[in-house]
Amino acid sequence: MSFDAASLTNAAIGDLRAYDPGHDLPALRLRFGAAIAVLGSNENPLGPSPRARAAAQIALANIHRYPDPKGGALKAALSRRLNVDRDRIALGNGSHELLMLLAQCFADAAHEVIYSQYGFAVFMLAAAASGARATAIPSLPANHPAMPLGHDLDALAAAIGKATRLVYLANPNNPTGSWFDDDALAAFLDRVPPQVLVVVDEAYHEYVDAPGLSSALQFAERHPNLVVTRTFSKAYGLAGLRVGYAVAHPSVIAVLERLRESFNVNGVALAAAEAALEDPGHLARVREFNRSERAWLAAELARRGYRTLPSQTNFLLLDLARDATLLERHLFEHGVIVRPMGGYGLAHALRISIGRRDENLRLLEALP
């Protein structure tokens, strides 16, 4: 009889499938070099601060050493910048790791984890890996006048029951680009019982400029059950180095620390992230570029008859109102990589990251 480990998995992950990165980008880059526009992964086309690159270079001298397992210098820099104590910060190998760890540490088969339909895909994965029941709450409708496909915070609050242990929210959310403001979050948090952890994923926080939306961090004192995650992968331009962080009550952080892999963030990443924090000028340029380029691209797409959803992120969700497979293929053949959304149940949509102007022009020129 042939061996197949698929029949040996734990019950929780039996139905899961491996991450689908879309196209094989390393192979495509080898084949086409600069002749492709990669607009599928919500990366920062301007890259990191030169100071972060320089710090990474210096840190290379020590790659024969284990990194600081506590990430002390980066935590100190974050603590200063965010004005939170160091014992409220956990570092992760990307915020993805922390999102997984939260469910693993706090939920099991006796619990339920809830999140919004079209919420970031890792929420479902984290819930499944923990063994908890995963419940997706219907999003706002696609024709909602203010926030199509956004999180329905009323429905999410109403869905919290005795077994609920964790709620994941993404603000702004990937792949919809949608968001909710501080007042809406405050009202939501007031409805959540203290034994339910609310994780607000702020991966795109640095891009936000919507009135009324700052950050969930302001509610941390009032709501010790609140966890905020952020990343250096987006506006800080360090996706390749994998650094994220969580800010939460010290007792939440202490639990995460029990299971966190000792050297989860490597030394080059720690050094680069710390240096990136010290260059607010670069971050401001990234924000401004993204804001104006996103508005320009949305307008150019609209001029050509393509509808995009409102976005506070570094990407646009294009709603084709019909199956988007052919368009994705067509763009691919013209060297423009975008992300199909069938895996999210949005087969009519494509997610398009804001690239450099030449990449965005390439996209526009390739459109049928």
Ligand X SMILES: Cc1ncc(COP(=O)(O)O)c(C=O)c1O
Q: Which of 244, 310, 340, 355 binds ligand X (CB under 6 A)?
A: 244
Give the Cβ contact number of residue 320 at 10 Å. Answer: 18
* Residue 215 engages ligand X in binding (rule: CB under 6 A): no
For position 103 contacting ligand X by CB under 6 A, the verdict is no
Query: How far from each other are the two terminal CA atoms of the chain, in whole angstroms?
Result: 52
231 binds ligand X (CB under 6 A): yes
- According to the binding rule CB under 6 A, does residue 94 interact with ligand X? yes
Which residues are 169's β-sheet partners?
200
Beta carbon of residue 170, minimum distance to ligand X (angstroms, whole number): 4
Among 201, 206, 293, 319, binds ligand X (CB under 6 A): 201
d(CA 186, CA 214): 12
Query: Minimum Å distance from CB 231 to ligand X?
Result: 3
- Name, in order, each residue with C-beta under 8 angstroms of 64's C-beta and a sequence gap of 6 or more: none
Q: Smallest gap, in angstroms, from Cβ of residue 37 to ligand X? A: 18
Query: Do 321 and 328 contact (CB within 8 A), yes or no?
Result: no
Among 166, 170, 316, 327, binds ligand X (CB under 6 A): 170
| Residue 233 in contact with ligand X, rule: CB under 6 A | yes
Residue 95 interacting with ligand X (CB under 6 A): yes
Are 230 and 203 spatial neighbours (Cβ–Cβ below 8 Å)? yes
Backbone dihedral region for residue 149 (phi beyond 0: left; psi -120 to 50: alpha; all else: beta):
left
Under rule CB under 6 A, residue 239 binds ligand X: yes
> Can you tell me which of 164, 174, 178, 360 binds ligand X, judged by CB under 6 A?
174
Contacts of 35 by beta carbon, 8 Å cutoff, 6+ apart: 335
User: CA 43 to CA 238: how far, in whole Å?
Assistant: 9
Query: Among residues 120, 168, 207, 245, which is the contact residue for ligand X, using CB under 6 A?
Result: 120
List interacting residues with ligand X (CB under 6 A).
42, 94-96, 120, 170, 174, 201, 203, 231, 233, 239, 244
